[in-house]
Amino acid sequence: SCWWPQAWRNLQRGTRKAFQKRFLFGMTLCRLVCPLYLFAWPENLIYHRATPWIWVLLGYDALQLGVLCIQDYFGPRFLVPNRFLPPIYDYHTVLPQPDDVEAAGATEPRDCCICMLPVEPAGSIGVSSGSLARRTYMLTPCDHLFHTDCLEQ
C-alpha cells in the first residue's frame, strides 16, 4: 500500500484522524493479501517459492501505517519543525467581544451554524479564556461559528 500521500496531505492541512483506524488496518491488510499469498505462502497458485523479501514489503507498509497512527495521536505536524511548514488557519481563535462588534455597527449572531444553539464565548461560561476554553468553539475562515463537537462530527 502507499499511505505516504495521505500522510503528506495530513501534514499540509493539519488534518487529524483523516481515516478511522479500522479502515486503515483493513485497507492495508486487503492490499497485502495477494503479495503475501504469492510470495510468502509456499503452496501458492503459481508455485512461486517463498521469498524473504516479502517481509520488507510488510515492514514498509507497517511503517506507513505507524506514521498515520502517530499523526492521529500526536498531531499531523509533530514530525516536522514548524519553520519548515506553512502556517495553518487557527480555528480556535479568540472571538471578538460584543462591544467590538457593536462598535463596528454589526450584530453578529453567536449561534452554531449546525445545531443552531448559542455558542458561549470562553469568558462567559466561567472558564478562563485560555487555549483550552477556546477549544469549545471553532471559527472558520468564512467567519461561520460552530461548536467544536458539531463541526467535527
pLDDT at 122: 56
Query: Of 57, 84, 111, which residue constitutes the final position of a domain?
Result: 84
Per-position DSSP letters for 1-21, written without gaps between them:
---HHHHHHHHHHT-S--S-H
Query: If you search the block for the grid coordinates 503459481, which residue do you land on?
Result: 46
pLDDT at 88: 78
Going by C-alpha positions, the residue among 92, 94, 73, 74 that lies closest to residue 135 is 92
> Based on the structure, what is the number of domains in the chain?
2
- H helix count then E strand count, the chain: 6, 2
Is 35 part of a structural domain of the chain? yes
pLDDT at 26: 95
Same domain, residue pair 18 and 78: yes
Going by C-alpha positions, the residue among 134, 141, 136 that lies closest to residue 152 is 136
Contact 3, 63 (CB under 8 A): no
Q: Which residues form the domain of 18?
A: 4-84
Is 91 part of a structural domain of the chain? no
Is 92 part of a structural domain of the chain? no
Same domain, residue pair 63 and 106: no
pLDDT at 47: 81
Is 31 part of a structural domain of the chain? yes
pLDDT at 104: 54
Same domain, residue pair 65 and 114: no
- Integer Cα distance of 34 and 29 in angstroms: 10
Helix (H, G, I), strand (E, B) or coil at 48: coil
Same domain, residue pair 22 and 80: yes
Same domain, residue pair 63 and 112: no
Give the type of residue at 83: R
Backbone angles phi, psi at 45, to 5 degrees: -65, -35
Same domain, residue pair 76 and 110: no
Per-residue model confidence as pLDDT tens digits over 114-152? 888 888 765 554 445 566 667 788 888 888 888 888 888
Segment holding 146, helix H or strand E = strand 145-147
Same domain, residue pair 115 and 79: no
Which segments of the chain have a pLDDT < 50? 125-127
